[in-house]
Amino acid sequence: MFITEIQLKNFRNYHDLLIYPQKDINLIYGKNAQGKTNLIESVYLASTGRSHRAIKENQLIKEGENGYLIKIKGIKDDIPFSLEIKYIKGEKRQIKINGLLVSKLGEMIGVLNTVIFSPEDLQIIKQGPSERRRFIDILISQTSSTYFYKLQKLNRIIKQKNAVLKKYQHKELTDLLDVYNNKLEDISYEIIKERVKFLEETEKHFNIFIKKLSNNNETGEIKYISSLGFTREEIKKNIHNNIKNEIKNKMTLYGPHRDDFTIFINDKDVKFFGSQGQQRTSVLALKLSEIEIIKEKTGYFPVLLLDDVMSELDLSRRKFLTESILTRQTFITSTEKKNYSQFLDKTTFYHVSQGIVEQR
């Protein structure tokens, strides 16, 4: 799987961009705040349907314009594909796959698989559970559209249940609350089961990478933390046993939307007891594991998006990452071209300045 063409219109600071990436390393370099990350962001958006940094759709539109367009073309198993995202202010976003309009975002997921690695990924370790849930949910969704739809279903049920909890004052709403709790039992079990399975598979690769990165001095472990339990019986019991607390707080306090996972290095929680180096190693090992999992599940290596991460890594980790990317299509952003001169035969250089990209 690789990208052959990227076209942007009025996306971020790009007015009209058209480039033809190569199969190997594509280095996007230039000074800060020129649009390097915007290019990476557009590819990730076409892959997952969401930005890795923007919250609102309007933030993606070039200043003074009314909408944006992203069009990605590529080759997958020797078959051409295209993805197109078009957004106009005040309208619903349009998505096309191979020129055909699709109605569901889930239909786009998995057409182009990517793994993004940016300095912000340290938040997977340092921040709260939402960052870690986001990591595992995006990973599974890229390999399973059914899981993506299960997440959407979970969010609808929680939204509906919260609406009932906000109004709950009298017993006449008890039956309705039971209906949503029964639905929550089923979808929670399915999502938790898939997350646990994926984390077990991720852990195998994670531990291998931790050992390699530490010269066999460290081992890694990942543990899923469920607010409801893991079996159907545990989930049913905990949903119903905690209903009084949810009525009191007027919101759904228990479910997969509240779950987490913990990363351990040498049996110590790396978030609280890991050094800065161990935290960076953990994120790097997670991202490399993500690549392997997607390859195993889909049969294709994902396109790698490395957003200014080399400057965040020490020499040994930088060398390890570099050796890991040489056999697949990679987009790297950097302020320096010279750092990649040793890969001249495998690298295409793109200079970015104020939203203008020139191949050099």
Between CA 70 and CA 50 the distance in angstroms is: 12
Q: What is the DSSP letter of 28?
A: E
Between CA 358 and CA 96 the distance in angstroms is: 28
Nearest to 108 by CA among 175, 190, 46: 46
Domain range 128-298, CATH architecture: Up-down Bundle (1.20)
Q: What pLDDT, on a 0 to 100 scale, did the predictor assign at position 120?
A: 84
Q: From its phi and psi, is residue 208 left (phi > 0), alpha (psi between -120 and 50) or beta? A: alpha
3-class secondary structure, 35: coil
Query: What Rg, from alpha-carbon coordinates, does the chain have?
Result: 22
**CA 146 to the chain's CA centroid:** 17
Nearest to 8 by CA among 80, 73, 79: 73
Task: Please name every residue paired with 223 in a beta bridge, in sequence order, or none if there are none.
Answer: 262
Looking only at the bridges linking them, the beta strands covering 303-307 and 114-117 are: parallel
Residue 61's CB is within 10 A of a number of other CB atoms, namely 18
Q: What pLDDT, on a 0 to 100 scale, did the predictor assign at position 338?
A: 73
Q: What pLDDT, on a 0 to 100 scale, did the predictor assign at position 310?
A: 77
Q: Are 305 and 44 in contact (CB under 8 A)?
A: yes
Q: What pLDDT, on a 0 to 100 scale, did the predictor assign at position 336?
A: 82
Nearest to 63 by CA among 17, 18, 16, 12: 12
Q: What pLDDT, on a 0 to 100 scale, did the predictor assign at position 148?
A: 93
Q: What pLDDT, on a 0 to 100 scale, did the predictor assign at position 343?
A: 65
Q: What pLDDT, on a 0 to 100 scale, did the predictor assign at position 342?
A: 63
Sequence-distant (6+) residues with CB within 8 A of 201 are 293, 296
CATH topology assigned to domain 1-113+300-360: Rossmann fold (3.40.50)
Q: Are 88 and 79 in contact (CB under 8 A)?
A: no
Q: Where are the domains of the chain?
A: 1-113+300-360, 128-298
Average pLDDT by consecutive 10-residue portion of the chain (360 residues)? 96 96 92 93 93 84 95 94 95 94 90 91 90 93 92 96 84 83 96 96 95 92 96 95 90 96 96 91 92 92 90 78 82 83 77 91
Q: What pLDDT, on a 0 to 100 scale, did the predictor assign at position 111?
A: 94
Q: What pLDDT, on a 0 to 100 scale, did the predictor assign at position 344?
A: 64
Give burial (CB, 10 Å; 0-12/13-18/19+) of 222: buried
Token pair for 132: 């870690």
Looking only at the bridges linking them, the beta strands covering 260-265 and 220-225 are: antiparallel
**Identity of the residue numbered 220:** G
Q: What pLDDT, on a 0 to 100 scale, did the predictor assign at position 315?
A: 79
Q: What pLDDT, on a 0 to 100 scale, did the predictor assign at position 68?
A: 97
CA distances from 198 to 224, 261, 281 (A): 10, 12, 20
Token pair for 87: 């957004």
3-class secondary structure, 347: strand
Sequence-distant (6+) residues with CB within 8 A of 321 are 284, 288, 306, 309, 310, 313
Q: What pLDDT, on a 0 to 100 scale, did the predictor assign at position 332?
A: 92
3-class secondary structure, 246: helix
Q: What pLDDT, on a 0 to 100 scale, did the predictor assign at position 173?
A: 76
Please report the sign of the dihedral spanned by the C-alpha atoms of residue 104, residue 18, residue 81, residue 349: negative
Between CA 250 and CA 253 the distance in angstroms is: 9
For tokens 């942007």, the residue is 8
Q: Are 122 and 279 in contact (CB under 8 A)?
A: yes
